[in-house]
Chains A and B, each alone.
Chain A
Amino acid sequence: MSVSGSESALWRGRSVPSFRETAASNTRGVVPTRDEIAVELAVARARTAVVPALTTYDLRAYYGSTEILHGVNLAFPYRQVTAIIGPSGCGKSTLLRCLNRMHELTPGASVKGRVLLGNQDIYAPDVDPVALRRKIGMVFQRPNPFPTMSIFDNVAAALRWHRVVRRHELADRVEQALRMAALWDEVKDRLHENALGLSGGQQQRLCIARALAIEPEILLMDEPASALDPISTGHIEELIVQLRSRYTVLIVTHNMQQAARISDYTAFMLMGELIEFSPTATLFTNPSDSRTEAYVTGRFG
């Protein structure tokens, strides 16, 4: 994982010079130096292997003195969908909430360990959690649109608060976000009606649009479809697959078929511990831990 230097450029999505470009810029002859080889290897590895957008080291979460997460080490790959599965109460939501520093907002809750966004420790003392949360969007289990606002304002509010865009660009950005959340066509004629008039599935997509509008780098989703009917769930799943090209998505789900359908990687948790993290296909078909196998084959959980 130690791609150093180029790592931060990578997760921000800047283009990385290809092996050939790097070789061409090698002006000192045919034989590359040791350093150059090292750089090229690192770049090549970054292209093929997992580049983490978010990494946790020995992450422990507490409610009061009760330890809920017992040292989780995980690297969430950049611009991939990672599903987090596990029986209820195993700490999936807690893990997610540690990643955007929402956990510490619960009275008595605390966190130990490190979480790196790119290569910045988000728990470093000089990191402003409020600024951090802007970069790491979150969608909750129950749709929670702002009840006093119109559909338009639900999306526009955060843009206004963060002064992301100028006034005349606001409508465009709202439209863009609503399109990205596959909601535009359904709401374009009622943008100024109250958001509570939408169906549950539409409300959830509105919440996704709201989160996407301010262009976070990572999107955390805590069972975003568990309160929805199958059709709305389908909409959300399609949407997540599309978001993959632009966002790093972490999704907690109870539904293993869903995890299998939409995710690239899957993390399996049990009682506050990470049991297995693998490419989704591997985890479901050829798990390396017997507990994972028992869970995915439905033998417990």
Chain B
Amino acid sequence: MKDVSVFTPAGRLLSSGLVSAVYRRRRLMDLLMTGLAGLAVLVAVVPLFSILISVAIRGLSALNLDFFTKMPVPIGETGGGVLNAIVGSGILVGLGTLIGLPIGLLSAIYLAEYGRGRLADTIRLFTEVMSGVPSIVVGIFAYAIVVRPLHHFSALAGGVALGILMIPVVTRTAEEMIRMVPQSLREAGLALGLPRWRVTVSIVLPSAASGIVTGAMLAVARIAGETAPLLFTALNNAFFSTSLLRPIASLPVQIYTYATSPYEELHRIAWGAVFVLVMMVLITNLLTRLAVRSGYEMKR
């Protein structure tokens, strides 16, 4: 404040009264807003941590080697595991990714690099709408196009449902990532006499890769926890199965079934399954972050 007044009489005038009052008010406002923002963070973080902690406390006690390697035991007996659900979830998510990732990525490439005019706008609109459709509706859709024609529930139907759910998530994040690649890089490639597709494959996609991978992983994490669309499609299976054409168990559906049952023992196993599911999502995220970062550093 003092410095200002050195220069001109006007400066002195300003700094003597007005400026400091305004400044005090701004500081107060600043403090208030920072406080509010901090509070909002707290409100957001507290439930998250309480969920994580209670899942960890209740889930960890259910975990042992059997949990991962054994099949469920009949009601009344203790012990057993959820091997079928873990393997089932792996298959369903793998299948969903196999369907959703390529379609989502290719749509994103089309929208970001080639799409112009009506068609592109329409596709973009559909993607927006699709990402807002409740997952249970997608489940019904998969039921109609896979379960009905084949006359029975199947892992395939569950994979299709998850894949459809994944498409808009992948498309939107990947399109955004591809758009973020500066135009100057495309021009650099084109000016070297590369065809468009080559520029896309060799320059644009590598530049957007880390973002695309992160987006894809988030999409995988999202479908891993989906329950509703599996209820009409993959159903559940009390036995070990890897067949795509038969119903298959999955962690979310298993959790749902066990948690809604009246048995204490099943609740315990459900908590364990919740813990495993949360960990799977968490670890996938951490691993991608790590992979993306180390890839990035290698490039430096």
Cross-chain pairs A/B with CB under 8 angstroms, 7 sampled: A130-B195, A144-B182, A146-B189, A157-B202, A162-B193, A210-B192, A211-B191
Verify A196–B193 contact, CB threshold 8 A: no
- Is residue B140 contacting chain A, with contact meaning CB distance below 8 A? no
Q: List A residues 116-141 near B (Cβ within 8 Å).
A: 130-135, 137-138, 140
**CB-defined contacts of B118 to chain A, threshold 8 Å:** none
Provided the pairs A144-B182, A144-B184, A196-B300 are in contact, do residues A100 and B191 lie with their beta carbons within 8 angstroms? yes
**CB-defined contacts of A140 to chain B, threshold 8 Å:** 184, 187-188, 191
Stretch at the interface among B74-82, B203-211, B238-246: B203-211
Report the separation of the CA atoms of residues A138 and B194 in the bound assembly, to the nearest whole angstrom. Answer: 13
Report the separation of the CA atoms of residues A291 and B300 in the bound assembly, to the nearest whole angstrom. Answer: 49
Verify A134–B207 contact, CB threshold 8 A: no
CB distance from B29 to the nearest CB of A (A): 40
Q: List B residues 25-45 near A (Cβ within 8 Å).
A: none
- Is residue B190 contacting chain A, with contact meaning CB distance below 8 A? yes
- Is residue A262 contacting chain B, with contact meaning CB distance below 8 A? no
CB distance from B206 to the nearest CB of A (A): 4
Q: List B residues 144-196 near A (Cβ within 8 Å).
A: 182, 184-185, 187-195
Verify B192–A137 contact, CB threshold 8 A: yes
Verify A158–B184 contact, CB threshold 8 A: no
In the complex, besides A102-B191, A147-B185, A148-B209, 6 extra interface pairs with C-beta distance below 8 angstroms are A105-B190, A130-B190, A144-B184, A161-B192, A207-B188, A214-B193
* Contact residues of B: prevailing secondary structure: helix
- Is residue B299 contacting chain A, with contact meaning CB distance below 8 A? yes
Verify A142–B185 contact, CB threshold 8 A: no
Closest to B206 in A: A148
Closest to B299 in A: A194
Closest to B191 in A: A138
**CB-defined contacts of A210 to chain B, threshold 8 Å:** 188, 192
Interface residues in chain B, defined as those with a beta carbon under 8 Å from any beta carbon in chain A: 116, 182, 184-185, 187-195, 198, 202-203, 206-207, 209, 299-300
Closest to B195 in A: A130
**CB-defined contacts of A29 to chain B, threshold 8 Å:** none
- Is residue A298 contacting chain B, with contact meaning CB distance below 8 A? no
10 smallest beta-carbon distances between A and B, as pairs: A134-B193, A138-B191, A148-B206, A133-B193, A144-B184, A158-B192, A144-B188, A194-B299, A194-B300, A130-B195
Provided the pairs A161-B198, A194-B299 are in contact, do residues A146 and B188 lie with their beta carbons within 8 angstroms? yes
**CB-defined contacts of B187 to chain A, threshold 8 Å:** 102, 105, 138, 140, 144
CB distance from B193 to the nearest CB of A (A): 3
Q: List A residues 95-124 near B (Cβ within 8 Å).
A: 100, 102, 105, 107
Provided the pairs A146-B203, A194-B300 are in contact, do residues A158 and B193 lie with their beta carbons within 8 angstroms? yes
- Is residue A234 contacting chain B, with contact meaning CB distance below 8 A? no
Report the separation of the CA atoms of residues A107 and B113 in the bound assembly, to the nearest whole angstrom. Answer: 12
The answer, among B116, B182, B194, for a CB contact under 8 Å with A158, is B194
Verify A133–B185 contact, CB threshold 8 A: no
Report the separation of the CA atoms of residues A211 and B299 in the bound assembly, to the nearest whole angstrom. Answer: 22
Report the separation of the CA atoms of residues A210 and B190 in the bound assembly, to the nearest whole angstrom. Answer: 13
Report the separation of the CA atoms of residues A194 and B206 in the bound assembly, to the nearest whole angstrom. Answer: 14
Report the separation of the CA atoms of residues A196 and B182 in the bound assembly, to the nearest whole angstrom. Answer: 14
Verify B184–A147 contact, CB threshold 8 A: no
**CB-defined contacts of B190 to chain A, threshold 8 Å:** 102, 105, 130, 133
**CB-defined contacts of A148 to chain B, threshold 8 Å:** 203, 206-207, 209, 299
CB distance from B198 to the nearest CB of A (A): 6
Verify A130–B188 contact, CB threshold 8 A: no
**CB-defined contacts of A230 to chain B, threshold 8 Å:** none
Closest to B182 in A: A144
**CB-defined contacts of A13 to chain B, threshold 8 Å:** none
CB distance from A185 to the nearest CB of B (A): 22
Chain A positions 146 through 162: 1 when the CB is less than 8 Å from some CB of chain B, otherwise 0: 11100000000110011
- Is residue A197 contacting chain B, with contact meaning CB distance below 8 A? yes
**CB-defined contacts of B191 to chain A, threshold 8 Å:** 100, 102, 133, 137-138, 140, 211
Verify B193–A130 contact, CB threshold 8 A: yes
CB distance from B117 to the nearest CB of A (A): 10
**CB-defined contacts of A194 to chain B, threshold 8 Å:** 299-300
Closest to A197 in B: B300
**CB-defined contacts of B195 to chain A, threshold 8 Å:** 130
CB distance from B89 to the nearest CB of A (A): 34
**CB-defined contacts of A157 to chain B, threshold 8 Å:** 192, 202
CB distance from A233 to the nearest CB of B (A): 20
**CB-defined contacts of A130 to chain B, threshold 8 Å:** 190, 193-195
**CB-defined contacts of B182 to chain A, threshold 8 Å:** 144
Report the separation of the CA atoms of residues A100 and B187 in the bound assembly, to the nearest whole angstrom. Answer: 11
Report the separation of the CA atoms of residues A43 and B209 in the bound assembly, to the nearest whole angstrom. Answer: 56
The answer, among A107, A162, A214, for a CB contact under 8 Å with B116, is A107
Verify A131–B188 contact, CB threshold 8 A: no
